Amino acid sequence: MASTAAVPFWRSAGMTYITYSNICANLVRNCLKDPYKSEAISREKVHFSVTKWADGKPQKPTIRSDSPEE
């Protein structure tokens, strides 16, 4: 039986919680004044490693950087 409990508004809008929290974080960062705004934007950058697999063995990992201004 389906629950009749209230659904969070972000879910009823068709968003995931991650999408909703990213939108909120961007709004807060844009409301900040300098120097806090530039510090918050610099923390937003993400670095991650991607490793491809071939024949059941990992290949050399690639370090990637993903940031909104790129």
Q: Which of 68, 19, 70, 18 is nearest to 41 (CA)?
A: 68
Residue 2 located in a structural domain: no
Predicted confidence at residue 67, as pLDDT, reads 55
Whole-structure pTM value: 0.52
- pLDDT (tens digit, 0 to 9) for every residue of the chain, 70 residues total? 455 567 788 888 888 888 888 888 889 988 999 888 888 887 777 777 888 999 999 898 888 876 544 4
Residue 33 located in a structural domain: yes
* Residue range(s) defining the domain that contains residue 49: 9-65
Residue 1 located in a structural domain: no
Residue 25 located in a structural domain: yes
Q: What is the Cα–Cα distance from 21 to 6, expressed in whole angstroms? A: 19
Predicted confidence at residue 25, as pLDDT, reads 87
Number of separate domains in the chain: 1
User: In the structure encoding, which two tokens stand for residue 46, read together?
Assistant: 């993400």
- Cis omega (within 30 of 0) for bond into 35: yes
Predicted confidence at residue 26, as pLDDT, reads 87
Residue 60 located in a structural domain: yes
The CATH number for 23's domain is 1.10.1620
Residue 3 located in a structural domain: no
Predicted confidence at residue 69, as pLDDT, reads 47
